[in-house]
Structure 1
């Protein structure tokens, strides 16, 4: 994607807005960081793909499985260090919803309008859908556990997910460990399949994903250098972005939760999302489905549990206690994605249905918090 290089100007603009006092503007800084993170995430993904070509399919698949959502992971770690735990949980839910509803929806809609009925491997899609169902169960249990405890104690607060409960902390750690184990097992399963599996690397600039056409464009030193520079730049821009969230939401009349669940998940994966849509337009639906479902699965089974363990380094544990609306939205998103993928066929109307659900969910999150006076983010009620 050659257009990525033009967005690199926003990386320089972000540094200028952050460090030059006369240019400081939180709203512009937030927008610039969002745009600057798009090419950085794209080049990070491309560098990972180039390394995977040099290292072979198995090691390459492992690289993609661990670094596929590296940009989003870095942003979340920076937010954890800044104490923005609810923002991190919102971005986790938003990333899964965005992949299952928004990106898959656009892929089915545009691909269906061009090619009519499209077909894909329903067995592979079914494996991904079942894994996502198990992941949602893993996120649901800690939420139900804490809600039932609060009901028992007569302290139920459905809007507050920022609670201090040692039992919930231990449960979240246990569930996170199980989810990560399940992710490892899914990689082992996919690597042993004769066909392209869940761990297959997906590159940003791969024109057709055919073995013959898929040749390395960069040497190993160049790929490693781009990977290192992109990662470092993402760390800096993530710092700027997280610091500008609160003043930006105040200026726009939004809330940090809405920004976390809608805006931030899109920033770190725009390049990969566009590839998914492009594959659908080329009638390569197996690859398009792998990108959407595989990325969702990676967030739910790897990124979210990993963040739970990483949060221990910052003195406060990130729990898997989500709001009831988040859990309901995740469950319904997995359900409709499963129903659409179960027959191995797709059309443009199914894509429109997914997009409609995403818009409805986004409106629900926006008006839920906007309708509560004094609430800046879900999980932070006024005293």
Structure 2
């Protein structure tokens, strides 16, 4: 596996980011140092994920990356929920979903497509992923419609949110059982042995070391992301950025840095199955597991967060799901499809910025 990241730079940028945070340096300087550190730490996580994927297979490797990558977002979101900052939490959830479906997946398909004319992965998996994305949209859409049409009260909305959250968690756990156990072979990776890069070799790390590095990298991503998010509010105020834009795009891009790096690296190595699993799998995990868990966390904290999103957020998620499902459902990808996803992401980004 190609060694592209310097351990010295990784450690130096991480330590500088830590010093900036704990010594209270200028907010803008903290932001720049943390952002640079995130890039290197995410690269480290991507390399560890690729090594784990070699031993575990593309799907399980992609699932592990999505899970470890979302761990940082879940921790930060729980802290925000306990502070009652529900609007910021919902904006970050929105940003995570559309960021993974449009930015991460788009960059992966674009980068991989430039190197390989057509990349293929399991078409059955593509179809099921699309259906799960639609399920997530339905679950977010129904409570908002019933509340906004005054068909139910706010207290009923919180009860409905708990019910929907429980159903989504059950559906996600059932999906893991279906995809990883009962129908594992049905959703197996598509082999590209004839298209492997000639200089590709086995991973330079052992199985145990790969898992250890994956855990260490995830902890580093969680720390750097938290430091970066901590200075977002003063930086956004200084440069006149709205809370919606910061939550839906800045926080989401930072929180998904690990997925960005890993998915693009894997796509450029013709491991598009793992790249799609990271991008789409991470979005599904946010919509079907992380968001519902946050509803229950808020409930046990004494102030239940409903699962009602704003019209703007629902439209953004709906558009992302629609274009991502239409592009991925045939199990084949190319660079132009990636470009289309990126175009939609830019349109939404400009629109959110102007709100």
TM-score, length basis structure 2: 0.81
CA distance in 2, matches of 1:186, 1:236: 30
Q: Secondary structure at the match of 2:231?
A: helix
Return the offset for 1:305. 1.2
More deviation, 189-198/61-70: 61-70
Q: CA deviation at 1:71?
A: 1.9
Contact 1:132 1:297 in 2 (8 A): yes
Q: Which residue, 161, 165, 189 being the options, matches 1:172?
A: 161
Superposed displacement of residue 141, structure 1: 1.4
Separation in 2 of the partners of 1:62 and 1:300?
Answer: 15
Distance 1:35 1:274 in 2: 13
- After superposition, what is the alpha-carbon deviation per residue over 1:145-185, rounded to whole angstroms, capped at 9, x for unaligned? 22122x999xxxxxxxxxxx322221111111111111001
Q: Quick one: distance in 1 between partners of 2:349 and 2:29?
A: 24
Gaps of 5+ in 1: 154-164, 201-207, 369-383
Q: Does 1:15 align with 2:18?
A: yes
Do the aligned residues in 2 keep the contact of 1:4 with 1:38 (CA within 8 Å)?
no
| Secondary structure in structure 2 of the residue aligned to 1:320 | coil
* Aligned counterpart in structure 1 of residue 244 of structure 2, from 257, 265, 271: 257
Distance 1:267 1:145, change over 3 A: same
Is the 2:31–2:228 contact (alpha carbons within 8 Å) kept by the matching residues of 1?
yes
Residues 1:33 and 2:34 aligned together = yes
The number of residue pairs the alignment matches comes to 343
Whether the aligned pair in 2 keeps the contact of 1:105 and 1:350 (CA below 8 Å) is yes
Instruction: Go from structure 1 to structure 2 and tell me whether the alpha carbon gap of 1:317 and 1:363 turns closer, same or farther (over 3 Å shift).
Output: same
Q: Does 1:185 align with 2:174?
A: yes
1:218-260 Cα distance to aligned partner (Å, 9 max, x none): 57589558736853x5555455334322211111111222111
Counterpart residue number, 1:74 = 75
Counterpart position of 1:309:
296
More helix by share: 2
Asked if the contact 1:108/1:280 (under 8 Å) is kept, the reply is yes
Counterpart of 2:259? 272
Note if contact 1:104-1:354 (Cα within 8 Å) is conserved in structure 2: yes
Conserved 8 A contact 2:82-2:301: yes
SS at match of 1:254: coil
2:67–2:282 Cα contact (<8 Å) kept? no
172-181 vs 53-62, which deviates more? 53-62
Normalised by the length of structure 1, the TM-score is: 0.76
* Bigger Cα displacement from structure 2, 109-118 vs 348-357: 109-118
1:358 aligns with 2:345: yes
Cα distance in 2, alignment partners of residues 92 and 361 from structure 1: 15
> Aligned-residue CA RMSD in angstroms?
3.5
What is the Cα deviation at residue 142 of structure 1?
Answer: 1.9
Change (3 A) 1:49 1:80: farther
Query: Residue by residue, what CA displacement relative to the aligned partner does 1:258-306 show, whole Å, maximum 9, x if unpaired?
Result: 1111122222332332232233333333232222211111111111111
**Cα distance between partner residues in 2 of 1:300 and 1:110:** 26
Change over 3 Å in CA distance of 1:353–1:230 after alignment to 2: closer
- The Cα of 1:28 is off from its aligned counterpart by 2.0
Kept in 1: contact 2:59–2:274 (CA 8 A): no
Secondary structure of the 1:290 match is helix
Look up the match of 2:185.
195
Kindly indicate whether the alpha-carbon contact (under 8 Å) linking 2:42 and 2:217 is maintained by their aligned counterparts in 1.
Answer: no
Please give the alpha-carbon distance, in whole angstroms, between the structure 2 residues aligned to 1:268 and 1:143: 26
Q: Secondary structure at the match of 1:69?
A: helix
Whole-Å separation in 2 of the counterparts to 1:278 and 1:229: 16
In structure 2, stretches of 5+ residues that fail to align are 190-195
